[in-house]
Copies of this chain bind each other. A is one copy, B any other.
Amino acid sequence: MNNKEIPYKIYLEESEMPKQWYNVRADMKNKPAPLLNPGTHQPMTLSELEQVFCTELAKQELDDTTPYFDIPQEIQEFYKMYRPSPLVRAYCLEKKLGTPAKIYYKFEGNNTSGSHKLNSAIAQAYYAKKQGLKGVTTETGAGQWGTALSMACSYFDLDCKVYMVKCSYEQKPFRREVMRTYGASVTPSPSETTEVGKKILAQHPGTTGSLGCAISEAVEVATQTEGYRYVLGSVLSQVLLHQTVIGLETKTALDKYGITPDIIIGCAGGGSNLGGLVSPFVGEMLRGEKNYQVIAVEPASCPSLTRGKYAYDFCDTGMVCPLAKMYTLGSGFIPSANHAGGLRYHGMSSVLSQLYDDGLMEARSVEQTSVFAAAQQFARIEGILPAPESSHAIRVAIDEALKCKETGEEKTIVFGLTGTGYFDMYAYQAFNDGKMSDYIPTDEDLKPGFDSLPKID
């Protein structure tokens, strides 16, 4: 198929869509370290995990040997409503940059949640429904995950309680309304509805909240309400598993046209998109079949991979969640409020952390004004207004394409365009008005986070 003309957008047929998710842990020689009980520091057992998570999801979380999981039929049907997502050849961008590189992006923004988050939300809602639960709780920062989960819960007629980081709740009333339109209840966090929320409010009156704090609230409600469980939109291995639908579709589309990427790029917050995109490719690397340059891109203001420590840490501020070994800035790290995009989580998926530690992936940190410059450039040339998160990947994709221009190399670059920026116009406005600034934490700024790391023997 090498001679086939490559269209602007490669859409798979429905019959070509993945029927299984791929669990990259099965191919990893160095497995990610297990989750630990925050009290005993012993590996979490299924019976402990299923107090917090749906049982099937807890099983997926713990399973690092099964390479493929069947995608239940109901989820496959839901996927067909908004998938397959297009793999787009960025012809216009290539031309504008004058690069010999070939640029592709897997665009996950063509659904109402506006991002890839829906891929895991529908899976988690499905298992909750199957277990006979009444509802689920979760946290949301920028609002993409909360929106995705609201949509998924509405589809399966499940109650959905979202704890939304207070500053986002106030700055993004439209996101909140989308969630409400899908029937979710949305509470600004920290709130008076939970013990942990009250405690945080007492300690930090006037706080505008954080993801770690919202997680703690959502977990508290889930574990103390009959018929509820907690669900999470990133970081966890189960989420990466569901998100492999991105990478599997990408790989099928590339294979169909005989294309082999040289560089694969994704933005990295908790790691769900990046992990989902790169897993099938990293699997080939792990099995010694192929080699790719895999690049994680994170904000310079929250550099968990490039400046974090590889250590066990709390996933949440309230320290009620299991401990995970990951590249982390420490749960006590306060992300800069000046950073407009998402990707502000202090830690990183333990799967990706291990792959990074093993040298299978590299990481770059980028500053936000350069990210928004790339976002604007991309929007004007390729017609899609990208989410600030996704624009981190765009920045590095453009940088790599410009390197090719210098060297004359015809590299094939694939990056993940996780979503759209329609609800991020405050940030764009700041950029349009020249009022956006950069922030790189000093070593001093990072110290409180590192000091908050638990001591694990």
Contacts and interface: CB of A to CB of B under 8 A. Distances in A.
Nearest to A183: B380
Contacts of A11: 11
Interface string A49-80: 00000000000000000000000000000101
Interface stretch (A262-270, A312-320, A422-430): A422-430
Interface in A137-185: 151, 154-155, 173-174, 177-178, 180-183
Interface in A376-400: 376, 379-385
Contacts of A110: 110
A11 B182 CA distance: 27
Given A110-B110, A423-B422, A380 B182 contact: yes
B82 A155 contact: no
A246 to B, nearest CB: 17
Nearest to A432: B180
Contacts of A177: 425, 428-429, 432
A456 interface: no
Contacts of A13: 7
A92 interface: yes
B7 A385 contact: no
A151 B422 contact: no
Contacts of A382: 81
Contacts of A112: 379, 383-385, 420
A9 interface: yes
A79 to B, nearest CB: 9
Given A423-B422, A429-B173, A81 B181 contact: no
A111 interface: yes
A432 B181 contact: yes
Nearest to A420: B112
Interface in A109-140: 110-112, 114
Interface in A96-120: 110-112, 114
A14 interface: yes
A80 B9 contact: yes
Contacts of A381: 155
Contacts of A422: 114, 174, 178, 422-423
A178 B81 contact: no
A173 B177 CA distance: 16
Contact of A182 (B183, B379, B420): B379
Contacts of A383: 78, 81-82, 111-112, 151, 155
Contacts of A425: 173-174, 177-178
Nearest to A8: B80
Contacts of A178: 385, 422, 425, 428
Nearest to A382: B81
Nearest to A151: B383
Scoring A81, A384, A423 by chain B CB atoms within 10 A of each residue's CB, the highest score goes to A81
A429 B385 CA distance: 24
A81 B95 CA distance: 14
Interface string A358-378: 000000000000000000100
A379 B154 CA distance: 9
10 tightest A-B contacts by CB? Answer: A174-B425, A8-B80, A177-B425, A112-B385, A422-B422, A154-B380, A7-B14, A177-B429, A110-B110, A180-B432
8 contacts: A8-B14, A78-B383, A82-B383, A112-B385, A154-B380, A178-B425, A180-B429, A180-B432
Given A82-B383, A181-B432, A183-B380, 9 more contacts: A110-B110, A112-B420, A174-B423, A177-B429, A177-B432, A178-B422, A180-B432, A181-B376, A181-B385
